[in-house]
Structure 1
């Protein structure tokens, strides 16, 4: 293939001939302002399965594989009505991406680009035909199906990509950096190390790293995985994504090891990914395919750390996950303002998650940009899970861009107490018991209510547990013994209190995690990330009406002197996966958010509902994670996570 032919081929494919194409289904012309859909089949497959049903608009010779690609052009609605098609979700090879964004250039050699564009789709089609679909079908693959050098038409097709994937008979995700032996290791490795190696090698695939492919996964009702050798993954439920199998197998290995951190170190987490670092992909997918609205915050968690070639692709993918009715072209060219536009639309629709995002103004202070250690999960901006219960009052109006919601006033911040949350769970419990006792004294009901709130539990359940086991009186005696003793002790009194209240065992229902965790283990494993690590503090909040004081664990977004004397609010009725009912709230000054509270329920019963203008000034910006997981790269820019011993087994990827 000479350079001149390659250049002409790409111009014909990505620009066109200038003539009006005719729809292969209805026969009508497709106007310049209409949306076309191009799909492909193989001539050999069509012949083997009977006569040609539709007339192709183009035939592409592939001499190296002795094949001819048939290209069909239709109105997009004609595509949905006329044929079975399978979109291919994949990461573009670097050479093809470079050619796409360089545009047509005289003297530029696109020989290798044309080889990839012609040959890879043939191999993918053959792989599907050999084991997946009987009869005729077509594939939609973006660098064959989208005129890349025709911007106006390309933009219209991009807007339709979520619908193209959602309405397909199924999606095939092509993962050229995952081999059959990785799957075999995950499913039946001879040792835990082999199983975890397989899991992490699959997590390292570039397909999980991209914004577009994440959105395509969430819009696909049936998803089939294709491996490097163009074979389809067997024994895979197409109604579940590969993420589910990775997570389930990983959880089994954690149970075997008895410790998540030990399992993570086994695979050298930081150089290699583990399933939780992929973010809540399945949560979004389940909501999307069942027609439910995905929360802005959860979609942001999924996309903000993933990689894009063009920054605006983030908004294409974000809007593809949400059901806002907005198009990327309607958004401001300024990223911050565009995020606010989408966030305000979600709030109007009853999604309050933008109110609980950590604003971009606080990101620098948090110093929580451990992109390597967090993978593609954005733990520093939302990370509180999907909405379980909606807010009681959904009606919202806006004033100068700020939402006015009905909120519950909790009280005024009186004191801030710093706790070293990085210490072991028993030390933290000892500090909390001592601190709470200094405020409540031996009032057992108040003590139980405050401890429950700090461990994301419901006081009524702990009180009921104590009464059922006849330990309420004994608890008061133990608290009297504990008063004044040095903190940090895991002595028999602290152990007894934790066991009696259900904090160190599984007697209380675990509402937050699939695997069994005691409240103490939950706080140790997840409380830090939910409260932004070292930004967490105990605050004492005082109700203006009854003058009672309550402890809240809060993620501080400003210095202590700024947070002191601010007002605490919560949203009635609202519950996310990792918050308590009525526990999600925030600390506000007149002009900005200075703290986030997640477990702030069960304070007093004073009626304190009022209209609250929320200062929605800025939402967190996306920040792509470009670290090459599975590589031996030790670039200083990416080398945040330091383990004394790393097991590097990931393969080099281009």
Structure 2
């Protein structure tokens, strides 16, 4: 855990003093009974509480809203959205409660919320660490159905808290951006605007942490030493089988980030960054292929219920991210993102656009409502840059030609097979 992670340039007290926050606590009362566990947040100069039974409604609506803690000005919904980072309030210990969802792990501090304009973050050179992670299925279900759940609230609160505590072991004053808390998920207008801000959120930060929440640290630390072949196969496949590699958005977040550190299932910050681990795994795989043959190594990987395609995708992400001389095409972008899962085809198209720096003349959230029109605009953008891969796509069997551009194929499928 020797990775150096940037802390914050200013103390929480100097920043929270920048805004005169007058709004009252949302979705909470001062007279909550002692038998009902509460969750406390520090927002600006205020301490706010909500019952754990209404945590999702609180944080995914307006409960954590405030003016900008840097300039004191409010946020204009049509012009800017709050970039909400999370830190530790070290001067206000949690009240113990054996049934409180915040008690595992027991943290000596509450969470402090910082809402800021992105312009203020840049002006004040604020450091934060965005977290790239795969959503838990139960959280996604609660999000989609807009239902409260204690078990989901536990995940939504504890995952960012454990993440922050782990990173604070390396950098005590660090702040994180974690979409379980940083995004008011049940406010569609804000959520959609933040969706378009993801590239800048991840690209601005000095470091990003990817959370491989189903990979224990031992599987990664084993790669730093000469492990026997059987051990290598187990560790190698455990890493690339992580559900993080299943998701589409995290691939975009990874590519757009600068340095990337790894957080494990047991909340350890790995000594080596993600690029070093990727190169190390690739080198070890090549070593064993040379010694044992490609077919034998591939068969052993298959026996672990995974394929080498996942490792190749990681290598492609690293190449896109770091090899400046590489020619970045729409076809290559589809190859990286197309085999990954996303909940909405809209997100897949928007992510492709972000990879290719596509800036449509029309609001992308409106343009993407017409799937064909967005894909046509993106393909035209690529062609104008000399990228002819859009002319080579293989049409899915059920796809019909569209008279607006009969030559365009693959618009109906969010997949790499085009």
Fold agreement, TM-score > 0.5: yes
Partner residue of 1:86 out of 122, 129, 134:
129
Partner residue of 1:26 out of 71, 74, 84:
71
Q: How does 1:160-175 map to 2 (within 5 A)?
A: 160-175=197-212
Q: 1:357 to 1:10 in 2, by over 3 A?
A: same
CA distance in 1, matches of 2:276, 2:222: 18
TM-score, normalization: structure 2? 0.76
Partner residue of 1:621 out of 399, 410, 413:
413
Report how far residue 295 of structure 1 moved: 1.3
Stretches of structure 1 that go unaligned for 5 or more consecutive residues are 49-59, 365-399, 403-590, 592-614, 626-654
Partner residue of 1:253 out of 259, 277, 288:
288
CA distances 1:486-525 after superposition (whole Å, capped 9, x unpaired): xxxxxxxxxxxxxxxxxxxxxxxxxxxxxxxxxxxxxxxx
1:652 maps to which residue? none
Question: Residues 288 and 297 of structure 2 are in contact (CA less than 8 Å); yes or no, is this contact kept in structure 1?
Answer: yes
SS at match of 1:360: coil
Q: 1:324 to 1:200 in 2, by over 3 A?
A: same
CA distance in 2, matches of 1:362, 1:186: 45
1:177 maps to which residue? 214
CA distance in 1, matches of 2:130, 2:325: 20
TM-score, normalization: structure 1? 0.50
1:308 maps to which residue? 342
Q: 1:181 to 1:14 in 2, by over 3 A?
A: same
Report how far residue 84 of structure 1 moved: 0.7
Question: Residues 14 and 150 of structure 1 are in contact (CA less than 8 Å); yes or no, is this contact kept in structure 2?
Answer: yes
Q: 1:318 to 1:335 in 2, by over 3 A?
A: same
Partner residue of 2:158 out of 109, 119, 122:
119
Report how far residue 78 of structure 1 moved: 1.5
Question: Residues 308 and 624 of structure 1 are in contact (CA less than 8 Å); yes or no, is this contact kept in structure 2?
Answer: no
> Is 1:188–2:234 an aligned residue pair?
no
Query: Higher mean Cα deviation, 345-354 or 138-147?
Result: 345-354
Q: Which runs of 4+ in 1 moved over 6 A?
A: none
**Aligned positions, number:** 355
Question: Residues 215 and 264 of structure 2 are in contact (CA less than 8 Å); yes or no, is this contact kept in structure 1?
Answer: yes
2:189 maps to which residue? 152
CA distance in 1, matches of 2:179, 2:313: 27
CA distances 1:349-373 after superposition (whole Å, capped 9, x unpaired): 2222212322335999xxxxxxxxx
Question: Residues 207 and 213 of structure 1 are in contact (CA less than 8 Å); yes or no, is this contact kept in structure 2?
Answer: yes
CA distance in 1, matches of 2:209, 2:130: 7
Question: Residues 52 and 101 of structure 2 are in contact (CA less than 8 Å); yes or no, is this contact kept in structure 1?
Answer: no
Stretches of structure 2 that go unaligned for 5 or more consecutive residues are 1-35, 39-49, 94-99
CA distances 1:258-278 after superposition (whole Å, capped 9, x unpaired): x22211112226822332265
Q: How does 1:262-341 map to 2 (within 5 A)?
A: 262-268=296-302, 271-274=305-308, 275-276=311-312, 278=314, 280-286=316-322, 294-326=328-360, 328-341=364-377
Q: How does 1:396-407 map to 2 (within 5 A)?
A: none
Q: 1:283 to 1:141 in 2, by over 3 A?
A: same
CA distance in 2, matches of 1:163, 1:241: 24
2:59 maps to which residue? 13
Q: 1:241 to 1:189 in 2, by over 3 A?
A: closer
Report how far residue 62 of structure 1 moved: 3.7
CA distance in 1, matches of 2:338, 2:62: 35
SS at match of 1:171: strand
CA distance in 2, matches of 1:197, 1:160: 38
**Quick check: which has more Rg, 1 or 2?**
1
CA distances 1:113-152 after superposition (whole Å, capped 9, x unpaired): 2212222222111211212x3x522100011111100001
CA distance in 2, matches of 1:296, 1:126: 39
Q: How does 1:233-252 map to 2 (within 5 A)?
A: 233-234=270-271, 236-237=272-273, 240=275, 242-252=277-287
SS at match of 1:40: strand
Q: 1:318 to 1:618 in 2, by over 3 A?
A: closer
Q: 1:99 to 1:81 in 2, by over 3 A?
A: farther
Q: How does 1:151-550 map to 2 (within 5 A)?
A: 151-188=188-225, 190-234=227-271, 236-237=272-273, 240=275, 242-257=277-292, 259-268=293-302, 271-274=305-308, 275-276=311-312, 278=314, 280-286=316-322, 294-326=328-360, 328-361=364-397
Q: 1:291 to 1:310 in 2, by over 3 A?
A: farther
CA distance in 2, matches of 1:321, 1:164: 14
Report how far residue 333 of structure 1 moved: 2.7
Q: 1:69 to 1:97 in 2, by over 3 A?
A: same
2:81 maps to which residue? 35
SS at match of 2:331: helix
CA distance in 1, matches of 2:367, 2:202: 23
SS at match of 1:224: strand
Question: Residues 132 and 250 of structure 2 are in contact (CA less than 8 Å); yes or no, is this contact kept in structure 1?
Answer: yes
